[in-house]
Chains A and B, each alone.
Chain A
Amino acid sequence: MTNGRTSPTDQDAERALVAPGTGNGLADVFRSRFLLKLLVRKELRIRYRGSVLGLLWTYVKPGVQFVAFYVALGVFLGLEQSPTNRGGLPNYAVYLFSGIILVNFFTESLSTATRSIVNNSGLINKIYLPRELFPVSSVWVSAVHFLPQMFVLVVACLFSGWRPGLVEAYTAVAGFLIIALLATGLGLFFGAANVYFRDSENFVDLLLMVATWVSPVLYSWRMVQAKAGDLWFSVYQLNPITIAVESFHHAFWLPTTAGAEGSPPNLVTLWIPVGLLVSLLILFLGQWTFRRLEGRFAQEL
């Protein structure tokens, strides 16, 4: 959309005939940054309307989840290293928390993005606007919720003697990017599919239910390698969520341990670029399907 006040010659150029309703996908979202900002702000305002704790819920939910997992897995199942349990992971609390918040970011992004098109049907079938805005704003909102949790993680790490270097900064940013791109790509795909088959929401819920378990959030990657062998471990490693979680472990948890555990071989040099690539590919595919399906959104909703 261009500025209203233009000179007469500009006006003629502006009035050149174009086909309405054919956008440029994510590029249009970038052009409508202001609208994106307003949509994100709207979502943040209304998500916790009428609740006493408000945005504090973004601390409470992962907090409770963390405590439950920590007690059940770290203490009872013996995943945490202690004087009586030498085989466990050192600093298991940091290990667990850094993975949980990242996977939660993914879970919230994808589940809200999948529903975003159907939930905004009132707008989509009346006014033309870049529809990619809705899944993208869902991911943004989740990122805003992720921020305070990230802050808690950083404080906890600093208390555990965390002194990050350049590599740690790189893996942290890469881990976040892998998840954000992946959630946007899958959100575009399932958000569009959901218009035609409402089964998509349920399928995504199923997917998200296992997301925490198929990545090394609760356990160590070494356990997978020991049981599955090198070939299947490589397959396991191809999952971008796995790579992102390991990147976060590398950034936040590893420096707080003596380093004996280590990250999977070639994480920084090979797997992180692979993860970024896979996420970008999925984003591309998501955008492609979205654009093929969006022409009929207004009539199906």
Chain B
Amino acid sequence: MTTAIEIRNINKQFVLRHTRSLKEALVWLIRGRKGDLSKKFHALRDLSIDVEHGETVALLGLNGSGKSTLLKHISGVMLPDSGTVRTGGRVAGLIEVGAGFHPDLSGRDNVYLNGAILGMTEAQIKEKFDSIVEFAEIGEFIDTEVKFYSSGMYLRLAFSVAVHTDPDVFLVDEILAVGDEPFQKKCLAKIKELAAAGKTLIVVSHDLDLVAHVCDRGILLEHGSVVMDGPVGDVISRLRNR
């Protein structure tokens, strides 16, 4: 087994009050820097996690406990204030479905654009294009502008592109609730298929039954620190009984 994700003592503070204009900053400087220009918020606190390749991890916690922030550190969108994050292999994040989609482009153009954004090469997209469209069950709408899609269709196509990027580490944040019931089942089956193929999964979801179904290991976050790390069933019962 090799390490997929290695997180060592990371800290992240967010600045809560922003000074967007030069004027505010100048006034603050002229007044002799009195008072803090901004308030700090500790979103991740001395957090360490190791994940091996092939593990399926559920990241659990209440709203605002830092789950999304942690995923953003793993994908490289954010950098920690202190501590280190290292990842092995290609990491793809489904932080939000369809983040790279543009409403004025056709489904076809969006598949190419989003595929490239998620790190696929031109050849890979060409090769998988038919499979992406088939999985999304978009059919003849593929050449229609995405803004005319129903929200379910939009999510189907976006999810389909994301699962076809074939990463080693797959980050999933709150997206399993996409589409209608049959499509949800299909997504779930696809994710289990990825897990069976030895991909590393990090899943964030408030749907505890679903998470228990997909993942083996659970990590419970509270105010930006790990409070429990163990078999997913145990972590879920702790979360339910608090």
Contacts and interface: CB of A to CB of B under 8 A. Distances in A.
Looking at B3, B72, B122, which has the most chain A CB atoms within 10 Å of its CB?
B72
B109 interface: yes
B184 interface: no
Contacts of B46: none
A119 B95 CA distance: 19
Contacts of A299: 14-15, 78
Given A4-B124, A35-B117, A19 B104 contact: no
Contact of B86 (A4, A17, A32, A295): A17
Interface string A30-53: 001011001101100110010000
Looking at B6, B20, B53, B166, which has the most chain A CB atoms within 10 Å of its CB?
B20
Interface in A287-301: 295-296, 298-300
Contacts of B6: 17
A38 B116 contact: yes
A21 interface: yes
B211 interface: no
B21 interface: yes
Contact of A22 (B74, B76, B104, B119): B76
Given A38-B116, A127-B99, A45 B14 contact: no
Q: Which size class do A's interface residues fall under?
A: 35 or more
B74 A198 contact: no
Given A4-B124, A4-B166, A17 B75 contact: no
Contact of B102 (A11, A42, A198): A42
Contact of B96 (A15, A126, A300): A126
Given A46-B102, A125-B77, A298-B77, A19 B84 contact: yes
B79 interface: yes
Contact of B75 (A3, A14, A20): A20
Nearest to B87: A20
Contacts of A38: 109, 112-113, 116
Nearest to B106: A45
9 contacts: A14-B89, A19-B84, A22-B79, A34-B122, A42-B105, A124-B77, A125-B72, A126-B99, A300-B18
Interface of B: 2-4, 6, 14-15, 18, 20-22, 25, 53, 72-79, 84-91, 93, 95-96, 99-100, 102, 104-105, 109, 112-113, 116-124, 166, 168
